[in-house]
Amino acid sequence: MTDIYIPATSDTPEINFKFSNNTLSMSGEAYPENGVEFFRPILRQLQSHLKSLSGDTVEFNFQLTYFNSVSTKIFYSMFELLNEYAKAHPNCVLLNWHHDEEDDTILELGQDIQEDFTWIDFNAIVLA
């Protein structure tokens, strides 16, 4: 699977999915007018990549400051995917949730994710 790199725009995040070493990173903001169109091809690749793995550890770095409700839904299905992988391969998904120490909004969203996707190892990281 080839790695994906998409630079950030004002309303889409930077996507840096290094499938080659199972490090997936996303940062910036997400509120594109048609979020589904933007994320669909990326998530399809993520899905087929995860299917091809058997117990490799996947690290996900999530560092967004804003995402709209459509993007939230998309991220939920993405985390669901990772959660299912982690269910089949326990302790194999680490989610690093980067947030500013004053950003209670993003932290709270992270806590929701942590609560909903129990197979994923959740790690909140305060941005320096």
Partner 1 sequence: MLDQSLLNQSRAGLSEIEAQYIASSLLQICPPVSPGQTNLDVTKLLNEHPDLISIAVVEDNKPIGLITRNIFMEGLAKPFHHDLFDRKSCIAFMDKDPLVVEQNMSIQTLSFKVLGSGRKTLNDGFIITDENGDYLGLGNGEDLVRVVSFLQAEKNRLVTESINYASIIQKSFLRSSREDMSAVLQDYFMHWEPRDKVGGDYYFCKKFDDGFFLALIDCTGHGVPGAFMTLIMASFLDHILVEDNRHDPADALAIMNKKVKMALGQINESAAEGFDVDRFSAKQNGQSDDGMDTAFCWVNTQNSTLTYAGAKTPVFYIGNASSEVQLLDPDRKGVGYIDTPMNYEWTNQQLPLTKGMCIYLTTDGIIDQIGGLKKIAFGKKRFSTLLQEHYLKPMPEQESIVMQTYYDYQGKQKRRDDVCLMGFRF
Half-sphere exposure of 26 (CA within 13 A, CB side): 23
Closer to partner 1 by Cβ: residue 64 or 94: 64
Run of H or E including 113 = helix 104-116
Site string for partner 1, 11-40 (x = CB under 8 A): ------------------x-x----xx--x
Question: 115 with 127: CB under 8 angstroms?
Answer: no
Residue 85 CA to its chain's centroid (Å): 13
Closer to partner 1 by Cβ: residue 3 or 80: 80
Place of tokens 């004053």: 102
Which 50-109 residues touch partner 1, going by CB under 8 A? 50-51, 65-66, 68-70, 73, 76-77, 80-81, 84-85, 88, 100, 102-106, 108
- What residues have CB less than 8 Å from 64, skipping those under 6 apart? 13, 26, 27, 28, 29, 30, 106
122 part of the interface to partner 1, by CB under 8 A = no
Contact residues toward partner 1 (CB under 8 A) are 10, 29, 31, 36-37, 40, 43-44, 47, 50-51, 65-66, 68-70, 73, 76-77, 80-81, 84-85, 88, 100, 102-106, 108, 112
